Structure 1
Amino acid sequence: MNLISLIGLITVLLGATLALAQKDIKKGLAYSTMSQLGYMVVALGMGSYRAALFHLINHAYSKALLFLGSGSIIHSMEAILGYSPNQSQNMVFMGGLKKHIPITKIAFLVGTLSLCGIPPFACFWSKDEILNDSWLYSPI
């Protein structure tokens, strides 16, 4: 069980590091999913199957919201820059879009806050459950 948790911890760190290094919005979201899956593997390694499944469901809904928002952003970027996947998905060029797509801004903010684990949002409760189970598994 400790080996599974160790592999999950490595996946968390590797996925988060790779997500921060991306300029492509969809690749960044995909690597952050890899990081969250590592978090779920840590929970599975501790035997906290219920918390891992709870986080999987919460993460799926929040990430779906972010992917829908990124599609809206990419579509808006194509209207501004023309069709070029290298530019329309590059986060470097995405400044100043909030005046063009205000509803997407709110949806993306809600999805991001949820994935960050900010309280009243869904992923807070699943991450809290995993942290609580990790404390019960091995209090330091």
Structure 2
Amino acid sequence: MSELRIRAATPDDLDTVLAFWKAAAEGTSISDDHAGVQRLVARDPEALLLAEQNAELVGTVIAGFDGWRCHLYRLAVHPQRRRQGIGSALLAAAEERFVRLGGRRGDAMVLNRNATAHHAWRAAGYAPEEKWRRWVKPFADRPAP
């Protein structure tokens, strides 16, 4: 098997990433569209990390840093490529990015019902923080500036 390559996504990768998430990621997000991912890459060109083997996309993670906290989203590995170290390599690259930027702790958005993901995150050293609950408010009804 060829070497795993991890790199930042470019605007040319967006359609491929969106199609990949449909096949490899659990659940959907309000931002899982071309405009949402395009804004992410334009605002922070190093946040969306891609794992490739033989020029094929096999994994992703969003490693967002807002200057205060390190947020991990969309850790996804192709279903036929799981348990081969791809997720671990993506998380290591994300963590290296965070440390380089001055981050102190990573937090991950993980679906409650995704037991497979819970095992992967625990194996990488992450644990749920039961004292916190995520609160959300969609802005879909507000016009963009």
Q: TM-score, normalised by structure 2?
A: 0.28
Higher relative contact order (CA 8 A, sep 6+): 1
Higher helix share: 1
Query: Which of the pair has more CA radius of gyration?
Result: 1
TM-score w.r.t. structure 1 length? Answer: 0.29
